[in-house]
């Protein structure tokens, strides 16, 4: 019996892409494997991960293949990752249909199993080897069997092939077929083959806490389902970025300030949270609700608990490890150190040990420990296939006296790790006295002083007596967490210090120095920054202090710089720009935005001193950074649903043109948004903003060193961001630009005040600007009042997908990243502080709520009234001066107008065109002109996607959806979302129009086809009538050709001739119109030579580039002297076929735009029930064509 998976057909599993077999139907069967029995799942199965080796480095644009069981989420993962990576999605099922015109089941029924296999294999080869770059390929069944396995193996030599795993319960829930035992058996049989054919794997775990949540989103947060997808997207992209290091898209996806580019080994006093596999289950779900404080998590696998039987590392054990690593990553979101502990075994199976390590490489672990005591050849083999994983050479010294820190064995391990090519050396030893701790420090010092080895060294002692060495060690010291101590009191790591304990000890031992920081500006008395930074310092055990400085000049700032304990400051208006000339170094971000909001005091004249902070001493240089943009970037990424992920046509709207608007523009650029609209009444200010980002200035660094030592700078820096297309709106009365998609990301940068409980500025926007069918995210940077008119407006549109984000969610994001450069601590979960100030009295405690990625934890921070005498309290007047925190007051009169009464939302319907590569479509011009002429409030817009994905489904299910035009490839797929399809749609096999109907009080989605109507009307306009004795020729065999054949049938032509270079497809199309006499040819020359055919109609349905003038037989047109040519191609305006036809005066020629017009009029009438205003729509389109 075969052990490789099959998907022989989809007869009962996937409906035809266009047939109306109702959405309510439930799949009744699955034929994913042939002859698959359903015995109980055996206890173990073979583990075979080593057939395909990993390479050291993959090309950044190398295509990625996904393989796995149906229902594991391959297609969803591909779509989620594609927009950030800038890759296209190639789905095997859709590709099969696109090429053959039939589903797998239909093709098999029509051509037999043998020909189906041949066609499938050919398409697999084409998908893999014709798309070596820029694609995420969702492989079908043929890729993991027979010849397909050989091709996939060859493809994997230079490409990622990722095996996607999922829990059997989730697969069954998705497929809704079979019982769990059957699903588990299918997984059991398929997994060995999938592992042999892949070089990495990803466990697609479901977030059960979100699935079970029945609470409504608060403050406009994402719904549980959208948030779950967002978490999956983040996790999967982190895996890909970690393997490939695609820094361009990584910079687009993650907001990182300059210092966060530094690798962990370059930072001082970093920590690794140690969690054994045996403890993980009881604590991991709780760890997601708090800040971890550590920089990495060490996932420890005890061999003694995994390899108790003779099977060793079997498939089920590998699955368990993969799942647990995935759970750690999703819940803790920091780099993983993969460590297999063999010291608890008397006799170690070396092969099993290295198979466990190889499995860690398959999971894309950021760090992997290998025991240096094992065989050199095996370690070298492991390191040669590590990819981007950093290897930690680990050595645990014995307890006997001849293996102390001064022993030659320790020096031998340094040399061994260096020779093998390890990235880091870790040496540990159980302490027998406190003197061992000083010996460990001395060992590290001696290695560094020798200058013989540059390998970073982690050195510490274990046990209660060794805790001193753990906090004095500066690289990835092992730590525990209070939660682990409470929930798993028997955990071996509980003898370790927590991060807070280690930090306190480090400062108390004078290894690091306390410093003071502050916020500096002319209106800072009410700033929330001190509360944020003091909370962070307290959380991390740092004795630093953060003060308020309200000043009218910069003189006092540079006096403070002379204080040896001054570490830096947050810079606010009006000094963000004025401080730039005084900086010795500027980050790329600060240069691009043209402002500094973070100043760091350097204790050495080079950038190297950034690695040695928390140290007192004279300031000899100043570094300027900007983190304002990070708060915006992070809040967009956190709240933007996957449906609205940034794509080529994504549009962002910035309200305002001041300093924070510049930060917003930079955030948009880093997000990859290429269409940016700036709304500001003073056009000159908007133009200045645009000019700044159209031409970035040169470096202002006054020293030679301009980059961070050891940094991993993203290539998404300002000088490598593609120039976006900017547009300006001067008034709320302006219509949204027709050539741009409606905005899905809106950032308001207007300063506001709370005046007697009312917002001082009307920040609301026109309803038309908020008409995105999939909603989006609205970010308000001001937080007085907390709910502005714009946020209130967005919350009212929550049921249409809009997410409202207030300023108190943005402020902490940039504030915490701003805090990171000061003490040198990069926050693991980017703590956000959201004040819930209960009351304010002298010397009273205020509760500050800490929000860690959507969860809540409270800290009590003692705040004194003389420092916070104007703290914002609910309903209190909290004035925000011009320029506070970088906000600038707009001069726009529109901003101060009271909002007008908005029309009822349901009176207006949204219409769309669905398709791929449709950015230049003329349909919006046509239909919007028609709506306007008839006084209808509707709007027509472009929605571009590679296929019919979740975004399309969301749009058509929206209550304000009115209908849609559908083009390729969606017209072959949209039927699965509809309730019924017209007879024409079924006969043609494609749907180009979606109509919303009311039937018996129910909303019904109905599919139709008007392409044939457009062709038919053009033919009839020619005046020709002698059809019954004439022949019609159709060139092509795709969707448009089907529509042409249907139109020809309705007109009563005597004969239909189909020409297509693949003769079998021409014959297949002709056979569907048996009412007519039909013939099929592979070339036009063959058709021309037919003596008994009176061809008076030619419909060309192939790209114009495929048929030059020299390839069109002139006899086709000169033979009878008159006839009709319908050229379906839009571009060029005059094709080769048209040129030949126009030489014969008796032939009338109709272009693709003529057909487009006619079919659009038919669509308009189906949607509105009104006669289309043809003349108005035609004039609008002609004007658009003329201006193109």
Residues 6+ apart with CB under 8 A from 347: none
The residue among 1168, 948, 829, 856 whose CA lies nearest residue 93 is 948
Main-chain phi, psi angles of 346, to 5 degrees: -70, -35
Does some domain include residue 77? yes
- Residue 786 scores a pLDDT above 90: no
Rounded Cα distance, 501 and 471, in Å = 9
Cβ neighbours, 10 Å, residue 514: 16
Question: Tokens 């490839």 sit at which residue?
Answer: 969
Asked whether residue 186 falls in the same domain as residue 126, the answer is: yes
Structural tokens at position 538: 């307290």
Give the residue with greater pLDDT, 35 vs 1104: 1104
Query: Could you tell me what percent of the chain has a pLDDT over 70?
Result: 80
Does some domain include residue 945? yes
DSSP 743: P
- Let me know how many helices (H) and strands (E) the chain has, helices first: 38, 42
- Residue 907 scores a pLDDT above 50: yes
Last residue of a domain, one of 250, 281, 301: 250
Looking at residue 1029, its pLDDT comes to 86
Name the band, by pLDDT with cuts 50, 70 and 90, for residue 622.
very high
DSSP 580: G
Rounded Cα distance, 966 and 973, in Å = 10
Name the band, by pLDDT with cuts 50, 70 and 90, for residue 976.
confident
The residue among 422, 811, 878, 379 whose CA lies nearest residue 630 is 811
Number of domains in the chain: 5
Looking at residue 868, its pLDDT comes to 32
Does some domain include residue 579? no
Asked whether residue 973 falls in the same domain as residue 948, the answer is: yes
Pick from 140-149, 509-518, 951-960, 970-979 the range whose average pLDDT is largest: 509-518
Quick check: 650 and 744 in contact, CB under 8 A?
yes
Structural tokens at position 137: 């390929």
Asked whether residue 444 falls in the same domain as residue 476, the answer is: yes
Does some domain include residue 12? no
Name the band, by pLDDT with cuts 50, 70 and 90, for residue 22.
very low
Quick check: 258 and 587 in contact, CB under 8 A?
yes
Quick check: 945 and 952 in contact, CB under 8 A?
yes
Rounded Cα distance, 938 and 928, in Å = 8
Looking at residue 1133, its pLDDT comes to 79
Mean pLDDT computed over 983-1001: 89
Give the residue with greater pLDDT, 212 vs 600: 600
Quick check: 89 and 78 in contact, CB under 8 A?
yes
The sign of the dihedral angle between the CA atoms of 114, 118, 121, 123 is: negative
Mean pLDDT computed over 261-284: 82
Looking at residue 838, its pLDDT comes to 28
- Residue 995 scores a pLDDT above 90: yes
The DSSP H or E segment spanning 848 is: strand 845-852
Task: Choose the weakest-confidence range: 213-222, 647-656, 801-810, 1047-1056.
Answer: 213-222
CA distances from 294 to 271, 500, 859 (A): 5, 10, 19
Asked whether residue 425 falls in the same domain as residue 293, the answer is: yes
Pick from 148-152, 522-526, 745-749, 999-1003 the range whose average pLDDT is largest: 745-749
Give the residue with greater pLDDT, 323 vs 286: 323
Query: Could you tell me what percent of the chain has a pLDDT over 90?
Result: 44
Rounded Cα distance, 883 and 571, in Å = 11
Asked whether residue 432 falls in the same domain as residue 289, the answer is: yes
The residue among 224, 71, 62 whose CA lies nearest residue 155 is 62
What CATH number is associated with residue 1180? 3.40.50.10860
Asked whether residue 157 falls in the same domain as residue 83, the answer is: yes
- Residue 882 scores a pLDDT above 80: no
Asked whether residue 293 falls in the same domain as residue 439, the answer is: yes
Asked whether residue 964 falls in the same domain as residue 1082, the answer is: no
- pLDDT tens for residues 704-713? 344 544 444 4
Last residue of a domain, one of 250, 284, 302: 250
Question: Angle between the 180-196 and 168-175 helix axes, to the nearest 10 degrees?
Answer: 110
Structural tokens at position 32: 């994913």
Asked whether residue 782 falls in the same domain as residue 923, the answer is: no
Q: By residue range, what is the domain housing residue 1095?
A: 1012-1150
Rounded Cα distance, 668 and 636, in Å = 9
Name the band, by pLDDT with cuts 50, 70 and 90, for residue 1002.
confident
Rounded Cα distance, 927 and 700, in Å = 51
Does some domain include residue 324? yes
Rounded Cα distance, 469 and 489, in Å = 23
Question: Angle between the 807-819 and 529-539 helix axes, to the nearest 10 degrees?
Answer: 50
- Residue 617 scores a pLDDT above 60: yes
- pLDDT tens for residues 1062-1085? 898 899 999 989 889 999 999 999
Does some domain include residue 833? no
The residue among 492, 506, 430 whose CA lies nearest residue 465 is 430
Catalytic center residues: 971
Rounded Cα distance, 628 and 658, in Å = 13
Asked whether residue 1181 falls in the same domain as residue 1120, the answer is: no
DSSP 438: H
Q: Reading across the β-sheet that carries 88-91, which strands appear in turn?
A: 88-91, 135-138, 64-68, 160-165, 200-203
The CA radius of gyration of the chain, in Å to the nearest whole number, is 33
The alpha-helical segments, DSSP class H, found in 787-863 are 789-796, 807-819
Q: How many residues appear in the chain?
A: 1188
Pick from 199-203, 219-223, 247-251 the range whose average pLDDT is largest: 199-203
The residue among 1057, 806, 802 whose CA lies nearest residue 954 is 802
- Residue 1091 scores a pLDDT above 70: yes
What CATH number is associated with residue 1082? 3.40.50.720
Last residue of a domain, one of 224, 250, 276: 250
Does some domain include residue 158? yes
Quick check: 367 and 61 in contact, CB under 8 A?
no
CA distances from 680 to 450, 728, 737, 807, 1109 (A): 62, 7, 15, 20, 52
- pLDDT tens for residues 357-405? 999 999 999 999 999 999 999 999 999 999 899 999 999 987 666 678 9
- pLDDT tens for residues 532-580? 888 888 888 899 999 999 999 999 999 999 999 999 999 998 999 999 9
Mean pLDDT computed over 1093-1122: 84
Does some domain include residue 558? no
Return the HEC string of 25-52. Answer: CCCCCCCCCCCCCCCCCCCCCCCCCCCC
- pLDDT tens for residues 425-449? 999 999 989 999 999 999 999 999 9
Quick check: 388 and 361 in contact, CB under 8 A?
no
- Residue 587 scores a pLDDT above 70: yes
CA distances from 1166 to 639, 966, 996, 1007, 1050 (A): 37, 14, 9, 11, 20
Mean pLDDT computed over 81-98: 86
Averaged pLDDT of the chain: 80
How much is the pTM? 0.71
Mean pLDDT computed over 1157-1167: 94
Asked whether residue 328 falls in the same domain as residue 365, the answer is: yes
- Residue 469 scores a pLDDT above 90: yes
What CATH number is associated with residue 495? 3.20.20.70
Main-chain phi, psi angles of 363, to 5 degrees: -85, -5
Asked whether residue 1086 falls in the same domain as residue 972, the answer is: no
């Amino acid at each position: 019996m075969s052990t490789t998976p099959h998907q022989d057909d989809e007869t009962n599993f996937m409906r035809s892409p266009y047939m109306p077999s109702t959405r309510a139907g439930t799949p009744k069967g699955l034929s994913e494997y042939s002859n698959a029995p359903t015995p109980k799942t055996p206890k173990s199965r073979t583990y075979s991960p080593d057939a395909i080796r990993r390479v050291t480095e993959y090309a950044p644009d190398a295509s990625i293949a996904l393989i796995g069981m149906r229902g594991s989420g391959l297609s969803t993962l591909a779509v989620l990752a594609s927009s950030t990576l800038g890759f296209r999605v190639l789905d095997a099922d859709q590709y099969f249909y696109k090429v053959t015109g039939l589903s797998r089941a239909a093709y098999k029924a029509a051509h037999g199993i043998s020909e189906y296999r041949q066609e499938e294999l050919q398409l697999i080869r084409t998908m893999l080897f014709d798309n070596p770059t820029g694609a995420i390929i969702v492989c079908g069944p043929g890729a993991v069997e027979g010849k397909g396995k050989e091709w996939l193996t060859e493809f994997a030599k230079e490409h990622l092939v990722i095996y996607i795993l999922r829990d059997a319960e989730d697969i069954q829930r998705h497929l809704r077929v079979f019982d769990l035992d059957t699903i588990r058996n299918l997984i059991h049989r398929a997994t060995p083959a999938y592992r042999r054919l892949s070089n990495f794997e990803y466990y697609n775990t479901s977030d059960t806490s979100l699935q079970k949540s029945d609470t409504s989103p608060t403050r406009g947060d994402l719904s549980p389902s959208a948030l779950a997808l967002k978490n999956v997207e983040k996790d999967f992209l982190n895996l890909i970025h970690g393997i490939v290091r695609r820094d361009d898209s990584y910079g687009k996806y993650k907001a990182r300030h300059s210092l966060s580019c530094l690798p962990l080994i370059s930072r001082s006093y970093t920590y690794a949270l140690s969690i054994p596999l045996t403890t993980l289950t009881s604590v991991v779900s709780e760890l997601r609700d708090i800040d971890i404080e550590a920089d990495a998590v060490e996932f420890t696998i005890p061999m003694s608990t995994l390899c108790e039987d003779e099977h060793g590392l079997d498939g089920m054990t590998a699955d368990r490890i993969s799942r647990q690593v995935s759970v750690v990553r999703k819940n803790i979101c920091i780099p993983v150190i993969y460590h297999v502990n063999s010291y608890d075994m008397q006799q170690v199976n070396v092969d099993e040990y290295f198979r466990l390590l190889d499995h860690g490489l398959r999971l894309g672990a950021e760090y992997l420990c290998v025991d240096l005591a094992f065989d050199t050849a095996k370690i070298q083999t492991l390191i040669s296939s590590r990819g981007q994983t950093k290897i930690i050479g680990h050595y645990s010294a014995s307890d006997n006296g001849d293996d102390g820190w001064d022993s030659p064995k320790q020096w031998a391990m340094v040399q061994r790790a260096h020779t093998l090519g390890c990235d880091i050396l870790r040496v540990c030893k159980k302490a027998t006295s406190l003197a061992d701790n000083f010996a460990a420090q001395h060992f590290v010092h001696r290695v560094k002083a020798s200058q013989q080895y540059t390998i970073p060294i982690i050195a510490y002692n274990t046990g209660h007596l060794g805790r001193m060495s753990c906090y004095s060690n500066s690289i990835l010291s092992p730590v525990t967490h209070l939660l682990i101590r409470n929930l798993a009191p028997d955990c071996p790591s509980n003898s370790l210090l927590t991060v807070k304990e280690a930090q306190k000890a480090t400062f108390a031992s004078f290894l690091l120095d306390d410093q003071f920081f502050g916020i500096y500006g002319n209106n800072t008395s009410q700033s929330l920054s001190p509360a944020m930074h003091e909370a962070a310092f307290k959380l991390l055990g740092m004795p630093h202090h953060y003060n308020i400085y309200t000043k009218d000049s910069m003189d006092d700032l540079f006096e403070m710089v002379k204080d040896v304990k001054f570490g830096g400051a947050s810079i606010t208006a009006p000094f963000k720009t004025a401080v730039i000339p005084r900086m010795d170094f500027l980050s790329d971000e600060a240069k691009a935005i043209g402002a500094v909001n973070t100043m760091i005091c350097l204790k050495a004249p080079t950038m190297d001193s950034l690695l040695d902070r928390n140290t007192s001493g004279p300031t000899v240089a100043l570094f300027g950074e900007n983190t304002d943009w990070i708060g915006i970037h992070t809040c967009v990424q956190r709240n933007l649903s996957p449906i609205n992920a940034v794509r080529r046509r994504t549009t962002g709207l910035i309200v305002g043109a001041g300093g924070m608007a510049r930060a917003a523009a930079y955030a948009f650029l880093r997000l990859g948004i290429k269409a940016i609209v700036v709304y500001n009444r003073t056009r000159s200010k908007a133009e200045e903003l645009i000019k700044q980002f159209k031409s970035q200035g040169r470096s202002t660094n006054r020293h030679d060193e301009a980059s961070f030592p050891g940094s991993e700078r993203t290539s998404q820096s300002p000088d490598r961001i593609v120039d976006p297309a900017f547009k300006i709106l001067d008034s709320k009365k302006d219509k949204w630009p027709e050539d741009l998609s409606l905005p899905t990301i809106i950032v308001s940068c207007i300063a506001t005040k709370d005046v007697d409980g009312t917002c001082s500025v009307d920040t609301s926007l026109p309803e038309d600007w908020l008409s995105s069918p999939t909603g989006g995210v609205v970010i308000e940077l001001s937080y007085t009042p907390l709910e502005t008119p714009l946020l209130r407006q967005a919350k009212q549109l929550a049921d249409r997908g809009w997410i409202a984000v207030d300023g108190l969610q943005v402020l902490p994001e940039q504030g915490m990243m701003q805090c990171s450069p000061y003490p040198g601590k990069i926050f693991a979960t980017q703590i956000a502080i959201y004040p819930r100030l209960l009351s304010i009295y002298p010397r009273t405690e205020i509760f500050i709520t800490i929000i860690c990625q959507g969860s809540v934890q409270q800290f009590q921070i003692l705040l004194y009234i003389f420092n916070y005498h104007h703290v914002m309290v609910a309903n209190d007047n909290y004035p925000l001066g011009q320029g506070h925190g970088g906000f600038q007051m707009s001069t726009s009169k529109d901003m101060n107008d009271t909002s007008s009464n908005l029309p009822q939302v349901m009176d207006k319907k949204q219409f769309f065109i669905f398709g791929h590569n449709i950015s230049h479509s003329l349909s919006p011009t046509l239909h919007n002109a028609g709506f306007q002429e008839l006084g209808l409030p509707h709007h027509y817009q472009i929605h571009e996607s590679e296929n019919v994905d979740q975004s399309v489904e969301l749009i058509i299910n929206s209550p304000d959806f009115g209908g849609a035009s559908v083009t390729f490839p969606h017209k072959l797929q949209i039927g699965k979302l509809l309730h019924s399809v017209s007879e024409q749609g079924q006969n043609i096999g494609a749907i180009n129009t979606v109509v919303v109907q009311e039937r018996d009080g129910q909303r019904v989605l109905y599919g139709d086809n008007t392409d044939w109507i457009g062709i038919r009307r053009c033919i009839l306009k020619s005046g020709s009538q002698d059809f019954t004795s004439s022949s019609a020729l159709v060139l092509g065999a795709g969707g448009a050709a089907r529509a042409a054949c249907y139109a020809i049938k309705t007109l009563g032509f005597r004969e239909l001739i189909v020409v297509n270079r693949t003769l079998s497809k021409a014959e297949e199309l002709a056979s569907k119109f048996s009412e007519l006499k039909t013939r099929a040819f592979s070339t036009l020359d063959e058709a021309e030579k037919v003596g008994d055919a009176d061809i008076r109609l030619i419909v060309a349905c192939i790209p114009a580039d495929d048929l030059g003038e020299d390839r069109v037989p002139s006899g086709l047109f000169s033979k009878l002297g008159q006839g009709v040519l319908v050229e379906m191609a839009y571009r060029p305006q005059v094709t080769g076929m048209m040129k030949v036809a126009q030489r014969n005066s008796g032939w009338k020629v109709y272009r693709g735009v003529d057909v487009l017009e006619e079919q659009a009029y038919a669509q308009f009438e189906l949607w509105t029930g009104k006669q289309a205003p043809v003349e108005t729509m035609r004039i609008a389109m002609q004007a658009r064509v003329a201006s193109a």
